[in-house]
Amino acid sequence: MGGVPSISIYVNELIQSYDVQNLIRVGTCGAIQKDVKVRDVILASTSSTDSQMNRMVFGGIDYAPPTASFHLLKNAYDTGLEKGLSLRVGNVFTSDSFYRDNTKELLILLDQYNILAIEMETTALYTLAAKFNRNALSVLTVSDHMITGEETSSEDRQTTFNDMIEVSLEAAIK
């Protein structure tokens, strides 16, 4: 999608111009934990980050952790189970960098602290949803594995990524 600055514009405008109540991000992520597989669907219950956004907003306070709406999370979880998806719920890491020099060291740290996967937007979505008292959820399909190097093919992306879209739409209307 384009990272924290980009999603922050979308979320601010969806809320302030269109009064959107439920914001669900569907996107991809790179798995970190060994038992998270490509094509798994991750429901981000919470998000850690290296983005400066929350530091700018909260100064010295660690506003943590930005969290999903329980209602949307539960609906998405129930729907995903009904559809037989391989679902994971947990902490994701929202990074400001896709390419970085210290990837190896970062992955060891994130793995040790049970972070499931890396992506680039969830923290901003959850923090803004909290600010405006809206419901938010990130639903992420694992497109590649940061440790094993396994990747989804373009056919995979077209077919399996539909599952997370269906889960998200049903979670919003349940």
Ligand X SMILES: O=P(O)(O)O[C@H]1O[C@H](CO)[C@@H](O)[C@H]1O
Active site residues: 144
Determine which residue in the list 120, 136, 139, 171 makes contact with ligand X, applying CB under 6 A.
120
Cα separations (Å) of 148 from 30, 31, 36, 39, 40? 11, 9, 11, 14, 15
Between CA 94 and CA 91 the distance in angstroms is 10
144 binds ligand URA (CB under 6 A): yes
Query: What's the one-letter identity of residue 20?
Result: V
Binding mask 10-29 for ligand X (x = CB under 6 A): -----------------xx-
Between CA 11 and CA 48 the distance in angstroms is 19
* Nearer CB in complex with ligand X: 33/138: 138
Between CA 143 and CA 20 the distance in angstroms is 28
What is the size of the binding site for ligand X (CB under 6 A)? 9
4 binds ligand X (CB under 6 A): no
Q: Which of 4, 116, 113, 101 is nearest to 50 (CA)?
A: 4
138 binds ligand URA (CB under 6 A): no
143 binds ligand URA (CB under 6 A): yes
Give me the residue whose beta carbon is nearest to ligand X. 27
Structure tokens at 73: 């999370």
Window of 4-12, 45-53, 129-137, 143-151 that interacts with ligand URA by CB under 6 A? 143-151
Contact between 142 and 40 under an 8 Å Cβ cutoff? The reply is yes
28 binds ligand URA (CB under 6 A): yes
8-state DSSP, 113: T
| Residues engaged in binding ligand X (CB under 6 A) | 1-3, 27-28, 98, 119-121
Residues that bind ligand URA (CB under 6 A): 28-30, 98, 118-120, 143-144, 146
